[in-house]
Amino acid sequence: MNHLLEVRDLKKFFPVQGGLLNRKLADFRAVDGVSFVLQEGKTLGLVGESGSGKTTIGKCILRLMEPSAGRILYDGSDITHLKQRDLRRLRSEIQMIYQAPAASLNGRMTVGQIIGEPLWIHERLKGDAARARVLELMSVVGLKDEHYYRYPHEFSGGQQQRIGIARALAVQPRLIVLDEPTSALDVSVQAQILNLLQDLQDQFGLTYLFISHDLGVVRYMCDEVALLYLGKIVEVAATEVIFENPKHPYTQALISAIPEPDPDMQREEIILRGELTLRAGASGGEAGCPFAPRCHAEKLTTCETVPPPLLDVERAHRVACHLHPPVSAAEPA
């Protein structure tokens, strides 16, 4: 199966400044050596707490932010350092749908103008031809023809997100980065938008990078899940493998916090100590596992001294934890 997107050792650092002269004191490591692949037509979920680097990864892939290091390969081509002219052509194939639909739409433009703008920018399409395409896209996402001349503030949050989805579809993308697309919506509306996204994926063969902190939504939407902690991937596997057999203590804690709808089923929740802090993420390379200060598992000496690499502990199941030896070492000789 074709790798539509491949990210290799991606890093994004931000300077931490201070003092009388506002000099650089350190680097905040928002993304610190992230690697993954995304198969064409599939959905990969990036999961983690706020501040774990999820959105930064998405923006680096779209080159809305410049990576500090690493490589981003799209359909086999390195797009990490593309010039603006080539980047403009690429953006017709990679689009983004944002978390807050109202903030992502221009309040001074009508729905027809919002959805039609990318048609003009990328295809120089205007007039009746553009209007026909816009009305077709509106119908695909569940909007009515009468909405064409209305403004974003006249719509509900779910309808605003449908406008954003139609705008993203206008240039016929292959890859869409979904940055928590339902977190600002009511639960009933969330289900409608998620079902719409799945239908569109089937209809147009879309590939999704799904960024979220809601594990219930991730389980419903994603084929594979990567768990992020302080800018690093700590576990990645197929969705059902992650939920049925989580290996990393961080993954176990997140899954234990999911509400159980059946009152007869009791699940012991794992309470993490402390909080994810900027201080830990801003370091220039502390010794040991970044999760060690909050880990509930019985720690080894190496947990405090050696950063754990992301290795295969089972077939197609990678974990960055000293408690789980790699598959080659775990198997008998």
pLDDT, tens digit, for every residue of 44-84?
A: 999 998 889 999 999 999 999 999 999 999 999 999 999 88
**Can you read off the two tokens belonging to residue 195?**
């079902």
Task: Indicate whether 186 and 41 sit together in one domain.
Answer: yes
| Residue percentage of the chain with pLDDT more than 70 | 93
What is the Cα–Cα distance from 209 to 6, expressed in whole angstroms? 12
For 164, the enclosing helix (H) or strand (E) is helix 157-169
Quote the tokens at residue 319: 């974990």
Domains identified in the chain, total number: 2
Q: What is the dihedral of CA 289, 294, 300, 306, to 10 degrees?
A: 10
Same domain, 162 and 222: no
Same domain membership, residue 123 and residue 193: no
Residues 24 and 123 in one domain: no
Would 151 be classed as within a structural domain? yes
Give the tens place of pLDDT for each residue, 3-46.
999 999 999 999 988 888 888 888 889 999 999 999 999 999 99
Residue 42, token pair as written in the block? 């599939």
pLDDT of amino acid 333: 37
Same domain as 196, residue 71: yes
Which of 267 and 254 is assigned the larger pLDDT?
254
Q: What band does 280 get if pLDDT is binned at 50, 70 and 90? A: very low
Say if residue 24 is in the same domain as residue 133. Answer: no
Q: What is the pLDDT of residues 144-195, one digit of tens each?
A: 999 999 999 999 999 999 999 999 999 999 999 999 999 888 888 999 999 9
Structure-block tokens of residue 134? 């816009």
CA angle 247, 41, 200 (to 5 degrees): 115
- Please check whether residues 134 and 23 belong to one and the same domain: no
> Is 41 exposed, middle or buried, given 0-12, 13-18 or 19+ CB atoms closer than 10 A?
middle
- Phi, psi values for residue 31, rounded to 5°: -130, 125
* Residue at 302 is within a domain: no
Helices (H), 16-77: 54-61
Q: What is the pLDDT of residues 294-318, one digit of tens each?
A: 888 888 889 989 999 999 999 899 9
- Answer yes or no: do 74 and 126 share one domain: no
Q: How many whole angstroms separate alpha carbon 106 and alpha carbon 86?
A: 26
**Domain that includes residue 123, residue range:** 105-171
- Partners of residue 45 on adjacent β-strands: 210, 225
pLDDT(277) > 70: no
3-state DSSP call for residue 35? strand
Q: Is residue 293 part of a domain?
A: no
Q: How far apart, in whole angstroms, are the C-alpha atoms of residue 240 and residue 222?
A: 10
CA distances from 184 to 15, 38, 46, 200, 239 (A): 30, 26, 18, 21, 24
134: pLDDT confidence band, cut at 50, 70 and 90?
very high
Domain boundary among 141, 171, 201: 171
Residues 265, 206 share a domain: yes
